[in-house]
Amino acid sequence: MTTVGAMGEVPPGKLPVLVTYMEMARRPETPERPVPDGVAGPVLARRCTLAYYRFLYDTIGEPWLWEIRRRMDQTELARILADPEVEVHVIHVDGMPAGFVELDWRLLPADGTVAINYLGLMTWAIGRGLGAWLLDWTVHRAWERPRVRRLTINTCSFDHPAALPLYLRAGFRRLRQDRKVVDDPRRTGVLPQTAGPHIPLAAPVPAATSPLGQTIPPQIGDPPRRPMAFRP
Ligand SMILES: CC(C)(COP(=O)(O)OP(=O)(O)OC[C@H]1O[C@@H](n2cnc3c(N)ncnc32)[C@H](O)[C@@H]1OP(=O)(O)O)[C@@H](O)C(=O)NCCC(=O)NCCS
């Protein structure tokens, strides 16, 4: 059985997603926006621990099906976080972490690229103008370094609908859009079924059957199915 969505038919357990890759190749001329009232930060989480990062990523990302950093090798993730060229900047509202941006300078020496790997707010902090300000702060900070030629960011159709128009207004342009079919992380067990309530759950994957027609239960040690990556 296949699921039919706006982007066509996909097999059981799968979801269609549209990924938009964007870049900003010119430094903005607008002055930096002031920090909104009641906001502290951004604060650089220096040598961000895996636990703190996963708290931010999981809490912010779960409603939007962010899953890549959940399912990737956690030793590898810790290695990325320990790299001083990957910066996690956290904003606080009323003393609580309210959002973060992850700036990745690792490509800067090679080709002048600064990647905004993630930008997101806690659900309770969405819709107050903090996203527009945090993006503006990020863009200004990124262009401060010498030899920056371009900033990149991407967003997908699972993300908040304000993201793409926000990036366009900030001066990013679409580089390309890819239609992908990915495993539904709520079917692979990477995310709970309550995640991403705005995205219809993929059709269940039928249990595997042997050539003799017997149902084969999953074996302990079966490798987890790996969704296709669409974020760095
Ligand atoms: C995307 C995100 C950062 C935007 O931040 P935000 O604080 O919610 O947005 P803001 O309140 O700053 O509003 C930004 C603009 O989006 C507009 N907007 C709000 N909801 C919108 C919607 N559903 N569709 C289109 N535009 C919308 C606002 O009107 C505002 O426009 P304006 O600047 O002209 O007034 C935030 O919603 C978020 O973190 N979402 C969850 C994680 C996510 O999707 N991150 C993006 C991953 S790439």
C-alpha 179 – ligand 1 centre gap (Å): 22
Q: Can you tell me which residue has the tokens 């793409």?
A: 164
**What's the one-letter identity of residue 25?**
A
| pTM > 0.75: yes or no | yes
Helix axes 50-61, 74-82, angle to 10 degrees: 110
Closest ligand 1 atom to Cα of 127 = 11
Q: Do the beta carbons of residue 93 and residue 39 sit within 8 Å?
A: yes
pLDDT tens-place string over residues 36-68? 999 999 999 999 999 999 999 999 999 999 999
How high is the pLDDT of residue 208?
A: 75
How high is the pLDDT of residue 230?
A: 42
Q: Which of 156, 228, 191 is nearest to 58 (CA)?
A: 191
**Which residue has its alpha carbon closest to ligand 1 atom 35?**
129
Three-class SS state of 201:
coil
What distance lies between CA 136 and its chain's CA centroid? Answer: 18
Can you list the domains of the chain with their CATH numbers? Answer: 3-29+36-188 (3.40.630.30)
Q: Do the beta carbons of residue 155 and residue 127 sit within 8 Å?
A: no
Q: Do the beta carbons of residue 108 and residue 145 sit within 8 Å?
A: yes
- Of 126, 133, 137, 153, the one to substitute when testing ligand 1's pocket (max ligand atoms within 8 A of C-beta) is 126
pLDDT tens-place string over residues 121-137? 999 999 999 999 999 99
Q: Torsion over CA of 15, 126, 88 and 135, rounded to 10 degrees?
A: 100
Which residues of the chain are modeled with pLDDT < 50? 1, 4, 218-232
Closest ligand 1 atom to Cα of 158 = 44
Q: Which helix (H) or strand (E) holds 154?
A: strand 150-156
The single-letter DSSP state of residue 107 is T
C-alpha 99 – ligand 1 centre gap (Å): 13
C-alpha 2 – ligand 1 centre gap (Å): 32
How high is the pLDDT of residue 212?
A: 64
CA–CA gap between residue 15 and residue 185 (Å, rounded): 9
C-alpha 221 – ligand 1 centre gap (Å): 41
Residues having CB within 6 Å of any atom of ligand 1:
64, 119-121, 126-132, 155, 159-163, 165-166
C-alpha 163 – ligand 1 centre gap (Å): 5
CA–CA gap between residue 199 and residue 35 (Å, rounded): 33
